[in-house]
Chain A
Amino acid sequence: EAQVTQNPRYLITVTGKKLTVTCSQNMNHEYMSWYRQDPGLGLRQIYYSMNVEVTDKGDVPEGYKVSRKEKRNFPLILESPSPNQTSLYFCASSLNMDRVDTEAFFGQGTRLTVV
């Protein structure tokens, strides 16, 4: 089954404790992206990757890091989480970004709470 898998689904952590949210897709997609969802703001892009070893900042990259060492994986790293990073996070992948109608496949979401 074609899917994007995020782990963990839920995470409560303390301020400053490094964490990684994993994202893996099994569709051989070139493009992967991370979004955060906050009430009243919708989803906003954090980082994206056009292919292996090619990453770039989205609209809200501060406090986050990513890497794309393999095509299928795109982990999101919070080196020193703060309470303002409490949010619902989504990983998404697409075959590529060549066309505006290319479908995005979303992971199940990771609900992160930083206390």
Chain B
Amino acid sequence: AQKITQTQPGMFVQEKEAVTLDCTYDTSDPSYGLFWYKQPSSGEMIFLIYQGSYDQQNATEGRYSLNFQKARKSANLVISASQLGDSAMYFCAMRERNDYKLSFGAGTTVTVRA
């Protein structure tokens, strides 16, 4: 079964607007961590933001924030004030306590329009 689901293959957003990238996950482990990565066209994986399953508050890092809804098992990434440099593929990933890997979603391609 898919552990991480990203239902949006691609999205367009206007420069300076906010965009929300959806991520739902599936786990029975009470201890887990959720990560978002950015992959620009150059190919490298850039860590953006982390949310732990026991964290009471939603994580924020600059223009990135994570809308964590534990009961719904969703961890949506919000990018505020989009910039042209935000055009990239974005991956949601999960690390479960009893697993030795990151489980990744299929990714969402974001294109920022001027």
Interface residues of A (CB under 8 A from B): 31, 33, 35, 40-45, 48, 50, 56, 58-59, 88, 90, 92, 97, 100-104, 106, 108-109, 111
Contact = CB atoms under 8 A, between A and B. Distances in A.
A58 B101 contact: yes
A84 B55 CA distance: 41
A102 B105 CA distance: 19
A15 to B, nearest CB: 24
Interface residues of B, number: 26
B101 A109 contact: no
A100 B52 contact: yes
Given A48-B101, A100-B33, A106 B45 contact: yes
B43 A101 contact: no
Contacts of B91: 42-43
Contacts of B95: 100-102
A90 to B, nearest CB: 6
Interface string B14-27: 00000000000000
Interface string B30-55: 01110100000001110100101100
